[in-house]
Amino acid sequence: MTEQAFFVLTALVGEPRHGYGIVGEVAELSGGRVSLRVGTLYGVLDRLVAEGLVEPDREEVANGRLRRYYRLTERGRDELATEADRQAANARAAVARLRAWRPGEAT
């Protein structure tokens, strides 16, 4: 799973969001580290829908502008949890190695 897809899923946890809202939410919850571009968003969203991790929720018109909402599926939630564990494990593996071999302490 790509980092962008990972953050889209995370942004959708709890409540459905529309495309533009996801962009803002991703920027916020990543602390600005990841800026999801619109050119990326719809491609990612289409793929996630095709994989059954996300599904269309509803359409709203707010202030004359269309809002298309998406929500996380049960499977999307599970996949996200699995992926989060993976990432955490990867980070742990790297940190453990970096600690084991301090500079100048090469085997």
Q: What is the binding site for a copy of itself (CB under 8 A)?
A: 3, 6-7, 9-10, 13-15, 29-31, 33, 74, 77, 80-81, 83-95, 97-98, 100-101, 103, 106-107
In the set 42, 82, 86, 101, which binds DNA (CB under 7 A)? 42
Mapped onto helix, strand or coil, the DSSP state of residue 68 is strand
The sign one gets for the Cα dihedral 67, 39, 32, 89 is positive
Contacts of 15 (CB under 8 A, 6+ apart): 71
| Binding to DNA in span 1-40, by CB under 7 A | 2-5, 18-21, 36-40
93 binds, among a copy of itself, DNA, none (CB under 5 to 8 A by kind): a copy of itself
Give the amino acid at 86: R
Q: What count of Cα atoms within 13 Å lies in the side-chain half-sphere of residue 94?
A: 6
CB 66 within 8 A of CB 59: yes
| Residue 32 near which of a copy of itself, DNA, none (CB within 5-8 Å, type-dependent) | none
Binding site for DNA (CB under 7 A): 2-5, 18-21, 36-40, 42-44, 47, 62-68
